[in-house]
Chains A and B, each alone.
Chain A
Amino acid sequence: MAASSHAQMLDLYRAILRLSKHFSAYDYRTYAVRRIRDAFRENKNVKDPVKIQNLVNKNKRDLEIIRGQVHIDQLSSTDKLVIVNQEEPGPREPGTSHQQAVDHL
């Protein structure tokens, strides 16, 4: 029981992280990635199965929120920030972003 929740959590974590990197807005992208990593790190040692289930449910909801927001964000994208050259490559390689947007539908 605990093992499958654990596996579920890892799947959710990877899914949320992967999705968050598709935000084209620098501030939202960096916040989502950072916040999720810190939240999972903070809750790493939670043992109570009820708490774990609550966290799983919360993360499922967050995943859906992020999915919707990434889609909207890509529709209303604007120029990059001046700082973006110094950051790890963003999600907007030419040619792929439209496909990504379609994937989210």
Chain B
Amino acid sequence: MLLRAAWRRAIGAATPAPRPGPAAPTRGLRLRVTDHAPQSPAPLNTATAPEAESGLRPLYMDVQATTPMDPRVLDAMLPYLINYYGNAHSRTHAYGWESEAAMERARQQVASLIGADPREIVFTSGATESNNIAIKDLEAAIQPDTSLVSVMTVNNEIGVKQPIAEIGQICSSRKVYFHTDAAQAVGKIPLDVSDMKIDLMSISGHKIYGPKGVGAIYIRRRPRVRVEALQSGGGQERGMRSGTVPTPLVVGLGAACEVAQQEMEYDHKRISKLSERLIQNIMKNLPDVVMNGDPEHHYPGCVNLSFAYVEGESLLMALKDVALSSGSACTSASLEPSYVLRAIGTDEDLAHSSIRFGIGRFTTEEEVDYTVEKCIHHVKRLREMSPLWEMVQDGIDLKSIKWTQH
């Protein structure tokens, strides 16, 4: 408590400082002295991120970027971060044996979620590494009649669900490998690698309420799919991914998968209801809002809306009390409109006006209502300021305008 008060006084002595950190565009959060008394025992980490103007943190509605850890996952990981610190590959003592047992238990938990055999799961540092392993296989095994199809199960920008089972059927009949990046889908919609004829699947820990820095790749054994290792070394993970397996992280991934399996139905029902509420309330109160992506084959937790005549970035800045994004985190530093929206044929101007709302396991009705209220308020306000909107209200067809060059 004293540490934190001293830190605030030091900050208050200077004028509002620029936000430290990466060069990525800031969201307008400024350092400010607040006068509300700290209420708890000294926080573990006093070098916290700058607070929002009122000293309160924004709501989190960006679950496609990353998710908070489920308390049950942290609980499972703790022993391996504190006392059970053995290397899972040490064969000669209890530290190694117990760590290995935990790793194999986690492997079983991941396999069980997707209907696979534990021997088909290789732990990696995340879905990106898994994707690279899967694609490298193509170069290694290329023959005139071999190729690879790689499709995202659930798109991370617009939430569209791809027809995985149908694609799997086609690939299997044509003897073509089928890989899917299931980072946004695992634990949220039912997946079975046998039913859907999936040969390779990428899994990410931090998208399913697990820790960051861990993932897995599913590699089918029957019929055998051969992959080439990206990194060589001690031959861990059957030679497919050398490097000490990080026991605490894989235990977290396993726990996240087990919790997801138990909670999938409950979460899906709740998230669908909240998603419906968000979309209906926004569309009821604002004209000219378009939902991007096929509404029928859609994962409800990822809602991507375009607000005509409003610039996406300015709406994001206005909604500073809600953590949102206008596309995938992977591409957020560039100013180009989303490649996904362009691919589905969205108009340039609508693509620039899109916002992605993420609804997850911990999202509450209050958070959705707050977000909707702020969104409606700011869209109306921004439209009032927009000359384009004024022209539309006057009945002018924007497409008929011949813009002159200066």
Closest Cβ neighbor of B360 among chain A residues:
A27
Bound CA–CA A78/B40 (angstroms): 9
Which B residues are CB-close (under 8 A) to A30? 362, 364
Bound CA–CA A26/B57 (angstroms): 11
- The answer on a CB contact under 8 Å between A80 and B56 is yes
The number of inter-chain residue pairs (CB within 8 angstroms) is 79
Secondary structure at the A interface, as helix, strand, loop or mixed, is: helix
Given A75-B43, A76-B45, A81-B59, also A28-B74 (CB < 8 A): no
Secondary structure at the B interface, as helix, strand, loop or mixed, is: loop
Bound CA–CA A16/B362 (angstroms): 18
Instruction: From the candidates A28, A35, A75, A79, name the one contacting B57 in the complex (CB within 8 A).
Output: A79
- The answer on a CB contact under 8 Å between A27 and B366 is no
Given A72-B74, A83-B59, also A101-B54 (CB < 8 A): no
- The answer on a CB contact under 8 Å between A69 and B367 is no
**Would you give the 0/1 interface string for B368-395, flagging 1 where the beta carbon is closer than 8 Å to chain A?**
0010000000000000000000000000
**Quick check: is A87 within 8 A (CB to CB) of the other chain?**
yes
**Quick check: is B12 within 8 A (CB to CB) of the other chain?**
no
- The answer on a CB contact under 8 Å between B75 and A82 is no
- The answer on a CB contact under 8 Å between B75 and A65 is yes
Closest Cβ neighbor of A34 among chain B residues:
B364
B343 smallest CB distance to A (angstroms): 33
**Quick check: is A4 within 8 A (CB to CB) of the other chain?**
no
B211 smallest CB distance to A (angstroms): 15
**Would you give the 0/1 interface string for A66-88, flagging 1 where the beta carbon is closer than 8 Å to chain B?**
10110011111111111110110
19 A-B contact pairs sorted by A residue (CB < 8 Å) = A27-B60, A27-B363, A30-B362, A30-B364, A65-B72, A65-B75, A68-B78, A74-B40, A74-B41, A75-B43, A78-B43, A79-B51, A83-B366, A86-B366, A87-B366, A92-B40, A94-B39, A97-B39, A101-B40
Which residues of A are in contact with B by a Cβ distance under 8 Å? 24, 26-28, 30-32, 34-35, 38, 65-66, 68-69, 72-84, 86-87, 92, 94, 97-98, 101
Which residues of B are in contact with A by a Cβ distance under 8 Å? 37, 39-41, 43-45, 48, 51-52, 54-60, 68, 71-72, 74-75, 78, 266, 321, 361-364, 366-367, 370
**Besides A27-B68, A76-B45, 17 new A-B residue pairs in contact (Cβ under 8 A), listed by A number:** A27-B60, A30-B362, A32-B71, A35-B266, A65-B75, A68-B75, A69-B75, A73-B71, A75-B41, A76-B44, A78-B43, A80-B56, A82-B58, A84-B56, A92-B40, A98-B41, A101-B40
